[in-house]
Amino acid sequence: IDKTVSARDARPTAQLDDYADLLGRRHIDRIYRKAADLSHLHVAHVSSTFYGGGVAELLDGLSLLMNHVGITTGWRVIQGAPDFFSITKKMHNALQGGSINLTDLKKQHYEDIVYKNALRNHLDHHNMVVVHDPQPLPLVQHYHRKGPWIWQCHVDLTAPNVELWAYLRSFIEQYDGVVVSLDEYQQPLETPQRTIPPAIDPFSIKNKELSTQEVNERLAHYDIPTDLPLVVQVSRFDRWKDPEGVIEAFKLATKEIDATLVLLGNVATDDPEGKEVYESLLDEQGERIYILSVEDTALVNALQRRAAVVLQKSLREGFGLTVTEAMWKGSAVIGGNVGGIRRQIEDGKTGFLVDSVEEAAERIVQLVRDPDLRERLGQAARTTVRDRFLLPHMLERYLDLFAGFET
């Protein structure tokens, strides 16, 4: 099979040319030129899940787009039993500011599992390797490198746990480059750092245009009522996403307005806490509160489109692709005033930022009552995403990063 041809002809994966109407021909041609200079690269992305969560979401689109522009790019996923992912989830939580009991046993287990993955993943012939997040981080020490190794961290590094950071740093500094999602996440490190904000694929099932009928059909399929305005949060079931705060804010708001809340979540394979968080919320199910744990990308799309208000009330958020997705759909978004959400939403112009349950409730009331305001914020939000957070923007920054290692 001629992979180049089959990849180019394949649908529904978007190609760079599909973005010409959105970004302009010159922009697209500039990216093609940069990619042509790097066609000798053989890139491998390594992450810890093919599915669930923002990293899988963006690698899905990004790795295909890299192939479309002529850079041979693969995506490997490390394997581990639940106890491995339990340790790495604790690390994730501690990187976002939580505490951790970092025993020698945990470190040993973490490093052993990564070592096993190194034995069965042959990355010695790739001349560009990008390792995502802490789960596969120690891989770097097990290879004869043919080119640069980059560690990309997607978590909110506003205040990483000091003890954990000191431990991880011994691996991080073996890399040739570090990528974070926002400038303020850069850390004091020997290794050179870059900021590359994530991005979305507007042509994917999650983000493409849907007709009113398609939206109705998806919502009806799950018996989600549309008689009242929908307030929606789509998120992994994770405490950092503050699902309890969302429910509380909704209850406060519905003292003044009538609405239906939908909390849609999924559980990533590398997140063992998800099931517990989901189950802890079920008591809150009610006539106007729907808590759904289903895997349905088109439902995510439909909800983000139909919602009168999309919430992302996170307490920490590396970037927050759900915010980008909803903004792209022209929805009015209320986001927690943290991490990547703060860098996407301009308060009062492209959505609202909130610091408390009470503020979230006030904004829900305001938006439900004011369709013109929703329309205004949503249109401005869509423009922000078009100008900054579509996949070609991210691709170009990657190409610039790769090119920087060439000289």
Stretch that binds ligand UDP, among 2-10, 51-59, 127-135, 186-194 (CB under 6 A): 51-59
275 near ligand UDP, rule: CB under 6 A = no
Q: With respect to ligand UDP, which residue has the nearer C-beta, 126 or 206?
A: 206
Could you give the CA distance from residue 209 to residue 108 in angstroms, rounded to a whole number? 48
CA 326 to chain CA mean position, Å: 13
Min dist CB 329 to ligand UDP, Å, is 11
Binding positions for ligand UDP, 167-226, rule CB under 6 A = 206
Nearer to ligand UDP, 63 or 235 (CB): 235
Residue nearest to ligand UDP (CB): 54
Near ligand UDP by CB under 6 A: residue from 35, 300, 341, 399: 300
Q: Which of 63, 235, 254, 331 binds ligand UDP (CB under 6 A)?
A: 235
Which of 264, 338, 341, 401 forms a contact with ligand UDP (CB under 6 A)? 264
Letters for 301-340 (x = contact with ligand UDP by CB under 6 A, - = none) are ------------------xxxx--x---------------
Give 254 or 312: the residue with its C-beta nearer to ligand UDP: 312
Residue 79 or 297: the one with the smaller Cβ distance to ligand UDP is 297
- Per CB under 6 A, the segment of 133-141, 183-191, 231-239, 351-359 that binds ligand UDP is 231-239
Please, what is the minimum distance in Å from the beta carbon of residue 34 to ligand UDP? 26
Site for ligand UDP in 55-74 (CB under 6 A): 57
As measured in angstroms, the least distance from the Cβ of 53 to ligand UDP is: 4
CA distance 203 to 357: 34
d(CA 392, CA 325): 15
Longest CA–CA span in the chain (Å) reads 63
Counting contacts by CB under 6 A, is residue 242 touching ligand UDP?
no
AA letter at 210: L
- Of 18-26, 83-91, 175-183, 228-236, the segment contacting ligand UDP by CB under 6 A is 228-236
Q: Which is nearer to ligand UDP, 148 or 265 (CB)?
A: 265
Shortest spacing between CB 266 and ligand UDP, in angstroms = 4
Give min distance, CB of 170 to ligand UDP, in A: 25
Contact between 234 and ligand UDP (CB under 6 A)? Answer: yes
Closest to ligand UDP by CB, 148 or 339:
339
Of 202 and 320, CB closest to ligand UDP: 320
> Is residue 92 close enough to count as binding ligand UDP by CB under 6 A?
no
Contacts of ligand UDP in 141-170 (CB under 6 A): none
**What is the rounded distance in angstroms from the CA atom of residue 84 to the CA atom of residue 81?**
6
Q: By the criterion CB under 6 A, which residues form the site for ligand UDP?
A: 53-54, 57, 206, 234-236, 264-266, 297, 300, 319-322, 325
